[in-house]
Amino acid sequence: MPRRGERKSRPRPTIAAKSPAPPGRIAVRELAYVYRHQRLVHQIDPTEFRCSVLAGQLADAWLDYHRKAALTSSNTYVSAIRSFLKFADTHLAAAGLDPGEARLDGGPVDLAEVIYQWEEDLLPRYKSTSNRPNTLAGALLILVGHRAVRDPQVPERLRRRAEGPPTFRGGSSEPLDEFANHERLLLRDAAQADIRALEKRLAAGRALLAEGQDPRSGGWRSLPNLVWAARHGVLDMPALLTHLPAHFRWWPKPLRDTVTDPLFMARFGGKYGVMTTVSGLLFPNELDLQPFRVLLLLAMGDATPEEVHDLALNDLEFSDEGVRVRQTKMRAHRVRPHLHGNDGPRENERPLEEDEAPGESAYPGTGNWDVPGLLRRLIAVNTMTREAFETDPWLFTAVESTDYRRRMTAGRAMFRLDGRRFTDWISTHPDMEGEPVKISQPHDIRRLRKTSKTTRVAALGGSLSDLAGDDHHIEVFRGHYAHGTTAHVLAGRAINRAQRGVFSKIKPRKPVLVTEGAEAMLAEPETAAELGISDEQGKALQHGELDMGVVNCRDPRDSPHTPKGRLCHVAPAMCMICPNAVVFTSQLPRLLMLDDHIAHMRKVLAPPVWQATWAVQAAALKEVFAECAEQLPEARQQIEEGKFRLDLPLGMRTEYDR
């Protein structure tokens, strides 16, 4: 049964909105709500625009629509309002109209026409593949339509415009493809190496912390003392500028060794580099957390990047079997629990303390690279961050400089700023030649999820319903994941494999040609084995017991053209394309007569009919004649002397010759 908190009704956002201003008064419209565990505040000040009345009306419609539609985010609506109001100010003034007279409930300004002009102005501002113009236009029309339903004074032309769609469709772009397998392995190996290096660095920092003391009494020129200051929140730029020598060469060697980047030397005489480096000995930054993000997305194919990013300590429940992760999918308003088992024994794991329970989220371990092991290691590297800064219990909590690089602070990692993104992490790993490792563009974190999905496709195969699993509908998987290169390659291989199986069964095989000398030795075991027949078959062939009229047959009751156990009923028409056929050189006259019959039928039958009926047999006869061309004149002579005749069954003449 679902546990507490797993089934939730659609949450209504927490809104702190200022009430609409009374008529004749212009006030700032403000909306505050929580989205993805963050408090966001949007404001629209009508006094910023010359069409202030229109701005106030659109802002009121936005606040009312956000509340009644229970929206989780209003970024698009605020952007649409601001874009339209800026355009209206310029456009109306250029047309000789007063922007202050524009309003939703009538007036001299035709707002429907202004909306058309604004939509045309949006298109050149974005790429042809962008969906942003369509999204902004649709958001504005929704707000205008929301006001039109509640205000009978909205003009009919503007009302009809609000009921219609945007004038242009959304842009179409190429869907993201997964990373190639060698790229996946490069990213995996780089992430694992970075995590090992991070754990080693933090272990060295904890050792220095054990040696350090308060620098306000023990001195600021000792590296362990600076580490102690970072742990207890007294390390900042004012303290370093005050207590460290101004020139770099007067610093103790352990401090000089901490600064390796020339950029840090140019800023604040290297003191900023000391602050960030010393802090990094105890606390990971956003770039340090990228490897965990990469490996978790590769391992958790059922989780989106947002779900992994939003994980907190109370979303994890560890046990001896693995870890139970509660994932929150914001767009679908779903809470999904998933149990990730231990893939193997954990290495280098310390034993539990007496007062420590196996189910606690702080359960340590550095073992495998499975999901439980990765989450344990992520918790371990961030434990001191949560203790020192008393932050919210996010798994991805990073320590970065803030306040104009004056001090270090902890917060939820966002992976958005320059130097902290996924592509920045990739660029920090050089290849064998010292260049950035070659990973195909774009460096989009969503491609990792597609990579894990296509890895599952390669491992499982099967139908779309099997591959979609329990986290997608079949059509969603077909549209968003089945288009990947890996899926296409695997599908192509499967089709080729099936076609090869069919073609191998229908591909004509040449009959075995037995020379006159070998015909006399068919009863000998060595000769029979060379031809792939048994001793009994060799004797029967030698005595003419398996003669089918034109050629011999190894086993007339094992024909590929009739059910097994039944006598072949298509001889001699199909003998030349049967793998059971055995041709003696003494049968060449009858084969020549069959070839003449096929040539005659070419004149009688329609070309498509002859091609479907006799073309393969004619080609097989030519191959046999090419192997024994020296004996063909003698065979022709025997035909002219009347020593041979071609007896074709009546059924063959009625079935094949018309």
Nearest-angstrom CA–CA distance, 188 and 183: 8
pLDDT of 79 higher than 50: yes
pLDDT of 171 reads 64
User: Do the Cβ atoms of 140 and 115 come closer than 8 Å?
Assistant: yes
Give the mean model confidence (pLDDT) for residues 297-302. 82
Question: Exposed (0-12), middle (13-18) or buried (19+): which is 647, by Cβ within 10 Å?
Answer: exposed
Neighbours of 236 (CB within 10 A): 17
Q: Nearest 5°: CA angle at 434, between 433 and 437?
A: 90
Confidence bin at 563 (pLDDT 50/70/90): confident
Q: What proportion of the chain, given as a percentage, has pLDDT over 70?
A: 78
The model's pLDDT over 625-646, given as tens digits with 9 standing for 90+, comes to 888 888 888 888 888 887 777 7
The model's pLDDT over 214-262, given as tens digits with 9 standing for 90+, comes to 998 888 888 999 999 999 988 888 888 888 887 777 888 888 777 765 5
pLDDT of 407 higher than 80: yes
Neighbours of 370 (CB within 10 A): 19
Give the mean model confidence (pLDDT) for residues 411-433. 84
| More confident call, 337 vs 133 | 133
Q: Mean pLDDT over all residues of the chain? A: 78
pLDDT of 275 higher than 90: no
pLDDT of 603 higher than 70: yes
Strands (E), 483-563: 512-514, 552-553
The model's pLDDT over 83-101, given as tens digits with 9 standing for 90+, comes to 999 999 999 999 889 988 9
DSSP structural state of residue 10:
P
DSSP structural state of residue 152:
T
pLDDT of 255 reads 82
pLDDT of 490 reads 63
pTM above threshold 0.85: no
| More confident call, 12 vs 413 | 413
Nearest-angstrom CA–CA distance, 243 and 272: 13
pLDDT of 485 reads 64
Confidence bin at 352 (pLDDT 50/70/90): very low
The model's pLDDT over 154-194, given as tens digits with 9 standing for 90+, comes to 999 999 999 988 888 776 656 777 788 788 888 888 999 99
Confidence bin at 24 (pLDDT 50/70/90): very low
Q: Which helix (H) or strand (E) holds 65?
A: helix 52-68
Contacts 24+ apart (CB under 8 A), 492-496: 494/461
| More confident call, 647 vs 282 | 282
Q: Which helix (H) or strand (E) holds 316?
A: strand 316-318
pLDDT of 581 higher than 70: yes
Type of residue at 24: G
Type of residue at 399: V
The model's pLDDT over 110-151, given as tens digits with 9 standing for 90+, comes to 999 999 999 999 988 888 778 888 899 999 999 999 999 988
Nearest-angstrom CA–CA distance, 540 and 496: 41
Most confident of 1-10, 72-81, 248-257: 72-81
Nearest-angstrom CA–CA distance, 112 and 154: 11
pLDDT of 472 higher than 70: no
Between 17-26, 61-70, 545-554, 601-610, the lowest mean confidence (pLDDT) is in: 17-26
Most confident of 58-67, 327-336, 532-541, 634-643: 58-67
Confidence bin at 511 (pLDDT 50/70/90): confident
Confidence bin at 571 (pLDDT 50/70/90): confident
pLDDT of 518 reads 73
User: Do the Cβ atoms of 370 and 395 come closer than 8 Å?
Assistant: no
Confidence bin at 328 (pLDDT 50/70/90): confident
Rounded to whole angstroms, what are the CA distances from 197 to 191, 381, 625?
A: 10, 12, 74
Confidence bin at 106 (pLDDT 50/70/90): confident
pLDDT of 19 reads 44
pLDDT of 475 higher than 60: no
| More confident call, 42 vs 432 | 42
* Sign of the dihedral defined by the CA atoms of residues 543, 544, 546, 552, in that order: positive
Give the mean model confidence (pLDDT) for residues 188-201. 91
Between 41-55, 378-392, 423-437, the lowest mean confidence (pLDDT) is in: 423-437
Nearest-angstrom CA–CA distance, 575 and 551: 7
User: Do the Cβ atoms of 283 and 260 come closer than 8 Å?
Assistant: no
